[in-house]
A = this chain, B = another copy of it.
Amino acid sequence: MRAEALKGHLDGLLLATLEDGPLHGYAVKEALREVTGGRIDLPTGTVYPALHRLEGAGLISGAWGVANGRRRRTYRLTEAGHAALSGERAGWQEFATAVTFALKARPWPATP
């Protein structure tokens, strides 16, 4: 998949992955890769800054913990994060429908 294709949609994917429960950064990356059958395989250099950004925006909250003697930063969705995810989903639907249609180059169906 083209690398730059994600632009503007990454946040929603990360939020959706965290919706089912808290995960640490690497687990988010792995979950997304598995759920999409390898189609979306984000480099770690994309995931961690994005999570920091989302945390800074208050959409997720991270906490340091320890598992197997290793420190891990586990993130969970905040209230604002849940709301943002809804918005991302709606926005994606609208966007995807519009692009799919435009790529077909047919007139938009009448909505009376």
Decide: B92 and A99 in contact? CB cutoff 8 A: yes
Given contacts A7-B4, A8-B2, A108-B35, contact A89 B102 (CB under 8 A): no
Could you jot down 19 A-B contacts, CB within 8 Å?
A: A4-B7, A5-B8, A5-B9, A6-B8, A7-B8, A8-B8, A9-B99, A12-B99, A13-B99, A16-B102, A17-B102, A35-B101, A35-B105, A35-B106, A36-B102, A37-B108, A40-B98, A88-B103, A96-B100
A interface residues (Cβ-Cβ under 8 A, vs B): 1-2, 4-9, 12-13, 16-17, 19-20, 32, 34-37, 39-40, 88-89, 91-92, 94-96, 98-108, 111
- Consensus secondary structure, chain A interface: helix
Q: Report the minimal beta-carbon distance from A32 to chain B, rounded to whole angstroms.
A: 6
Decide: A102 and B4 in contact? CB cutoff 8 A: no
Chain B residue numbers with a CB within 8 Å of A6 are 8
Q: Report the minimal beta-carbon distance from A91 to chain B, rounded to whole angstroms.
A: 6
Chain B residue numbers with a CB within 8 Å of A1 are 91, 94-95, 98
Residue in B closest to A13 when the chains form the complex, CB atoms:
B102
